[in-house]
A and B are shown apart, each in its own frame.
Chain A
Amino acid sequence: MAARRKWIQLAVLALLIAVLPLFFPSGYYYRVGALIFVNALAVVGLVILIGYAGQISLGHAGFAGIGAYACALAPEHLGLHPSLALVLGAVVSGVVALLIGRPILRLKGYYLAVATLGFGILVSMVLTNERALTGGPDGMQVEDLGLRALLRDLGWRLSGGEFWYGASGIVLLIGAWLALNLYDSPTGRAMRALHGSEVAAATVGVDVAQQKLRAFVISAVYASVAGSMLALQNGYITPDVAGFMHSIEMVTMAVLGGVGSVLGATLGAAILTLLPQVLTVFAEYEQLVLGAVMILVMIFLPQGLLPSIARRIRGRGE
């Protein structure tokens, strides 16, 4: 049963990614789609942290920033290929999460939220202030991945938008597959147990600190890879990627769609990525609408959009 649900979710996601381009009226939509997938990848990481393990982080943009700047800096200073820079960024993010996670995750609720928030802001502050290395608030160029040129040599011509749509879609699928596998694994079950009650989980032998830390590190790596993909796809990066607002957006996406579900997270990422695109016409209303969405969803759909809709449909069926 569990295994079937996993494959259904993956199939739905794959189908959506494959079929959507048929409805794209212009190349611009590939760009938006790629952006949605990259955001969704980071949000799937948060599903593991918030949805499975029940811990909040308001600083995950910090890890996205580490991933993004790894792709900008490592090729320039270490001569690494951008794809290896992505891996390096993920490793660095994982190690940082491991180091700060143990003390930070002893905290609960508001304290955890603000401690992680502090971490995110410290990262973005370093990125903004170390002008000599990072270009400061103006940001810096990111070297091309070179994969598209390779495909062209093989006779497969893709526009930048099409390439990144496909590449981010595939990475998102891999991320979703890993997250869904984790859900039903012993580790995933242990994480979900401590979400319910840490004390109860501890009494049945779950190493609470260990499982929290694991969720934190895994979700940090997701955010980092998402940050790297964003940097590579834009070819340019600014400290905003690590900023407070980006962290808040990530959490809102996760909670909006439904924080316990991978598909829900993707839906949340899609809505909040599309919203500013639609609202560019009334750019001055963007913040107003974003704030209202956050409040209304939390009050009226506390489970998130997808689980609430699913429950309503199921409820009617019975």
Chain B
Amino acid sequence: MDSLLQFIFSGMTVGAVYALVALGFTIIYNASDVVNFAQGEFVMLGGMITVFAHQAGLPLPLAAVLAIVITAGVGVALNKLAIEPARGAPVVSLIIITIGASILIQGATQLIFDKQLHRFPAFSGDDPVRVMGATILPQSLWVIAGAVLVFVGLWLFFTRTLTGKAVLATANNRVAAQLVGINTGWVMTLSFGLSAAIGALAGVLATPITLVSYDVGVALALKGFAAAMLGGMGNPKGALVGGLVLGLLEALTAGYLSSQYKDAVAFLVILGVLFVMPQGIFGKKSTERV
């Protein structure tokens, strides 16, 4: 029983990170119909920039804010320099562009920083908290709380603000949104910046536990995508639930079946979901007009 609880705690922690990556996917997908395979690099950048800014003498909170701002800038640049010029390109081209961006960002990161594994100190110490016979790191609580806060913040943004509603309108019907005077180009830029910032925040929160190096982004992107798909592509609630479910499945697999094959879970989930319910848990059924 203790070990089950322990697995649930670790599953919730990684699950919260996957959920944040999946939220990033969702925001960009809704605004632009692009699946951004470079989403994992935002998480990596968040961690890496914080590490080096902190080493350069900035206090940790300031380093983290700097990392999030720079990463948001990278997200905006990705949209302006690579996605917008390729408007109307087939899906294969967009996939290759965002994968190319992911490789480019990795290459730049290892040039500017290095290839080592890094971490910085946990926000509130490394002494585990005991809960009913299991332990949880304080940093895990930060990660989970961060995911919940981002989710609530996004929900308020989309339902209570005019800008958020403009994003939703663009997601729903780009032409109609333009007709009512929404600047859809700006909505896309905003979405890339926002989703990069959320990714970077995930990196900042998770680095004390999972460590960061230039090449951690690919796996995160794939798992975030699996989570987004599990929940239903384009649905923020689905991203949150999908991330947590995937994290728990992974932790339980590692605990009870095989730690070597825990990463396979994400892909078995992808394949399983696609075959059984291609729309995901919260996805809407869509019909294609011809």
Q: A-side interface residues toward B, CB under 8 Å?
A: 50, 56, 58, 103-104, 107, 109-111, 113-115, 117-119, 121-122, 125, 129, 197, 199, 244, 248, 251-252, 255, 259, 284-295, 298-299, 302
Q: Chain A CB within 10 Å — which of B268, B274, B275 has the most?
A: B274
Known: A56-B95, A121-B222. A115 touches B290 (CB 8 A): no
Q: Is the CB of A288 within 8 A of B89?
A: no
Known contacts A110-B95, A285-B111; A292/B100 CB under 8 A: yes
- Using known A-B contacts A115-B270, A284-B110, A298-B93, determine if residue A292 contacts B99 with beta carbons closer than 8 Å: no
| B35 in contact with A110 (CB, 8 Å) | yes
Secondary structure call for the A interface = helix
Most-contacted residue by chain B among A111, A125, A288, A298 (CB, 10 A) = A298
User: Of B99, B110, B226, B229, which is within 8 A of A248 by CB?
Assistant: B99
How many of B's residues come within 8 Å of A, CB to CB?
A: 45
Question: Is B185 positioned at the interface, with any CB of A under 8 Å from its CB?
Answer: no
Return the CB mask of B246-266 against A: 1 if under 8 Å, else 0: 000000000000001101101
Q: Which residue of B lies closest to A291 (CB)?
A: B104
Contact A294 B264 (CB under 8 A): no
Judge whether B93 and A255 touch: CB under 8 Å: yes
**Option from B96, B102, B271, B274 in Cβ contact (under 8 Å) with A255:** B96
Nearest-Cβ distance from residue B264 to partner chain A, whole angstroms? 6
CB nearest neighbor in B for A109 = B91
Instruction: Please indicate which of the listed interface residues B96, B226, B261, B278 has the most CB atoms of chain A within 10 Å of its own CB.
Output: B96
- A287–B95 CB distance below 8 A: no
Tell me the chain B residues, 101-154 only, with Cβ under 8 Å from chain A. 101-108, 110-111
What's the Cα separation between A56 and B94 when bound, in Å?
12
Given known pairs A129-B260, A291-B100, the reply for A299 and B274 (CB within 8 Å) is: no
A298 to B278, Cβ gap below 8 A? no
CA distance A286 to B214 in the complex (A): 14
List chain A residues, Cβ under 8 A from B94: 298
The answer for the CA separation of A210 and B150 in the assembled complex, in Å, is: 45
A135 CB to closest chain B CB (Å) equals 15
Report chain A residues within 8 Å CB of B85. Answer: 299
CA distance A286 to B115 in the complex (A): 14
Q: Is the CB of B218 within 8 A of A292?
A: no
Minimum CB distance partner of A103 in chain B: B275
Residues in chain A near residue B263, CB distance under 8 A: 121, 125
